[in-house]
Structure 1
Amino acid sequence: MNWDTADFDWNQARAFLATAEEGSLSAAARALGVTQPTLSRQVSALEEKLGITLFERGPRMTSLTSAGLEVLDHVRAMHEAAAKLSLSASGQSQAVAGLVRIATTDTLACYHLPDMLLRLRKIAPDIEVEIRTSNKLRDLLQREADIAIRHARPSEPELIAKKVRTTSATLYASKDYLDRAGRPRDAGDLQKLKYIGVDTRDTLIQPLKQKGLALTTSNFTASADSGLAAIELARKGLGVGLFIADEVDQFPDLEIVWPDFKPFDVPIWLVTHRELHTSKRIRLMFDLISDYYSLK
């Protein structure tokens, strides 16, 4: 294996690492925000440079060769070292200027972050913000984001978290859908309705069962891994969705399906890396988001 560090191209290494972690060229391209042909060329160029085959390519998935597994350990170690170096440098920055990356859900990005950023412009106009709509804490651990807004508390020791708000989620549907299907009078009527799944059709079955609602996959005729998409599916009358009140109150065409259904408590956690918390611009953004939720 010919590994010449003087001729090393980190873009090729990132393409290789993303493909190994995501399992396919198409998924890796989406993760890195590049086209699939570009990513494929980068992986092929790295294979040619090293003189080895890194992946066995299938129609939909790619699998690492034994040589690819060996290279993966080296590239992952390099990536982690670069992330630590970047964290250390960012943590020492005391300028109230520069870039802050925020990772959050697509609904929070659309319905919460714009108001926060308007306040930020007045306080610190030199701070630039990049928003990533992602649910992976890896964004923070790999230094792909500086702050995350999540609905679950992280367990990783290198992350610090603050619960800034507890909201609620309940069942919503469009008025048109309930006019057609009938407004439920009891839990039995709820089980006759069609539902919109989150991620997959069976994700909500167990949580709703704990609320006394026994559903099967046959109840879920549509699903979406995007909160925005799920809300739009409900607005078009495709079924009942479990949505956070803060995010659907602005849609008068959606109504609570059954007032007697006990809502879920939904915490909102603000998360950052311990080292990043010493950066003045990131601390300012962290506190601004926290203040925003304390006033809601």
Structure 2
Amino acid sequence: MALNWSAIDFDWNQVRAFLATAEEGNLSGAARALGTTQPTIGRQVTALERALGVSLFERTGRGLVLTPSGADMLADVRAMGEAAARISLIAASRSEEVAGRVAISVSDMMAINIMPDILAVLSDNVPEIEVELIVTNDISDLLRREADIAIRHVSSPEPDLISRKINHGFARFYASESFVARHGAPTRMSEARDMPFIGFGAPQVMVDEMAKRGIALPPGSVKLYSGAIFAAWEMVRAGLGIGIMSDEVARRTDGIVPVLQEEPTLPVDMWLVTHRELRTSRRIRVVWDILVEELTRQARIGASP
């Protein structure tokens, strides 16, 4: 059966603006997600409401809430978004062009400590490739094209994603030289009962995660914390407490020494992940191969005595 094209009088940009606004909860978040401006998103949502003859959002004190009509549409619109992502993925996987954009998702610590050198290599070897560095401590959804390639500490179980293990490292407790000068260098947790710890997340979350790994943090010891890992590490570097960090990052940080060396170390793996379809794109293959080479080289340097 042929589609009734005359009944479809809205465009994809309007639908995309609606979906992003529904998922982000406000126009400014949608604008950031789509790389445009808040007024543009507002105009596109208004145009969609006008074309459909319904109101899609109600304004509240904290943002926008879907109307019943908007909520009824959301599942179908989300399916349209997923279909659009698949179309984009298929097209990207068939491309033999090297020039173009590649989005790489990394943690904030990797963005600061590891990626600058690698981005320099990419710029020197393939200047025609435009690299977007997506900095997040959450796992980007590659199936929904939030990134083309991700560098993670975990592999991916999804069958449509491929993973390659780059490195197997360790994390342990560190403190600044100034902290050790004031408080001493504890070798076991019983010697650190009265010392402050820096959390890379809410205190109880860190206590629970450490407990899973056989490390019992003293009750109430996590005095300062941040979900931004680089900010928490700066607290450690400033001498505000003891924190846990990968050896690879710690060796790049001046004025940091290991402490609590009788406590267990934590395994920290590094994985490179991409979509199986994107592995057939020449542009993705070029970036993937350089990442593999450079990350492996840096891992060897870090393992050298």
Instruction: Tell me if TM exceeds 0.5.
Output: yes
How many positions carry a matched residue from both structures?
293
Q: 1:61 to 1:205 in 2, by over 3 A?
A: farther
8 Å CA contact 1:191, 1:213 repeated in 2: no
Indicate yes or no: 2:40 matched with 1:54: no
8 Å CA contact 1:190, 1:213 repeated in 2: no
C-alpha displacement of 1:49: 4.5
Match of 2:120 among 113, 118, 121: 118
How far apart, in 2, do the equivalents of 1:110 and 1:241 lie? Answer: 18
Q: Which runs of 5+ in 1 are unaligned?
A: none
Q: Which runs of 5+ in 2 are unaligned?
A: 1-5, 300-305
Indicate yes or no: 2:287 matched with 1:285: yes
Cα deviations across residues 85-121 of structure 1 (Å, max 9, x unaligned)?
1111111112232221111112112222222222223
Indicate yes or no: 2:10 matched with 1:7: yes
Q: 1:225 to 1:13 in 2, by over 3 A?
A: farther
**More displaced, 211-220 or 124-133?**
211-220
How far apart, in 1, do the equivalents of 2:197 and 2:35 lie? Answer: 32
Q: 1:167 to 1:194 in 2, by over 3 A?
A: same
How far apart, in 2, do the equivalents of 1:136 and 1:78 lie? Answer: 25
Q: Identify the residue that residue 303 of structure 2 maps to in structure 1.
A: none
8 Å CA contact 1:201, 1:217 repeated in 2: no
Q: Identify the residue that residue 183 of structure 2 maps to in structure 1.
A: 181
Indicate yes or no: 2:239 matched with 1:237: yes
SS in 1 for 2:270: strand
How far apart, in 1, do the equivalents of 2:116 and 2:140 lie? Answer: 24
8 Å CA contact 2:174, 2:256 repeated in 1: yes
Q: How does 1:1-296 map to 2 (within 5 A)?
A: 5-8=8-11, 10=13, 12-24=14-26, 27-33=29-35, 39=41, 42-44=44-46, 46-60=48-62, 62-215=64-217, 218-295=220-297, 296=299
C-alpha displacement of 1:261: 2.3
C-alpha displacement of 1:123: 3.0
How far apart, in 1, do the equivalents of 2:238 and 2:49 lie? Answer: 48
C-alpha displacement of 1:124: 2.5
State the superposition RMSD in angstroms. Answer: 2.7
Q: Which amino acid aligns with 1:121?
A: S
C-alpha displacement of 1:263: 1.4
Q: Which amino acid aligns with 2:10?
A: D
Cα deviations across residues 134-192 of structure 1 (Å, max 9, x unaligned)?
24444411223211111111122211111111121111222223333332242212343
Q: 1:289 to 1:245 in 2, by over 3 A?
A: same
Cα deviations across residues 45-85 of structure 1 (Å, max 9, x unaligned)?
54454343434444336543332222211221111111111
Report the TM-score when normalising by structure 2: 0.84
Could you tell me the percent identity over the aligned residues? Answer: 42
Q: 1:9 to 1:137 in 2, by over 3 A?
A: same
